[in-house]
Amino acid sequence: MRPFQGTGVDVSRRTKLVREWIVFAICLGLGGHIVLGVILHAPEKWPWRDAGVYGLLVSLSVYVAVQLVRSVWWVMRGKTKRPMS
């Protein structure tokens, strides 16, 4: 049996899981870049020793914001979507 062979439900679940990990990884990278930019432009306000903590907090905040936008998108899309007859 191949590693990615299975039922349609397994493939669908795996696809959703991979998609969420990709979104999370992009948010971590974006949060890290935001913190790096702030530290480089205002080093007296954000010391380097706390960069990791700030990076993690900002990254998680970005992830929460992205999830909120995605939720609103799905709600709005669901209301405007016409049922197929």
pLDDT at 10: 80
* pLDDT tens, residue by residue, 42-74: 888 888 888 899 999 999 999 999 999 999 998
In a domain, 3, yes or no: no
AA letter at 34: I
Are 34 and 58 within 8 A, CB to CB? yes
| Exposed/middle/buried for residue 16 (C-beta within 10 Å: 0-12, 13-18, 19+) | exposed
pLDDT(2) > 90: no
Q: How many structural domains are present in the chain?
A: 1
Query: What value does the mean pLDDT of the chain take?
Result: 85
In a domain, 85, yes or no: no
In a domain, 15, yes or no: yes
Range of the domain at 38: 9-80
pLDDT at 81: 64
Q: What DSSP state is assigned to residue 47?
A: -
Question: Distance between CA atoms of 20 and 26, rounded to whole angstroms?
Answer: 10
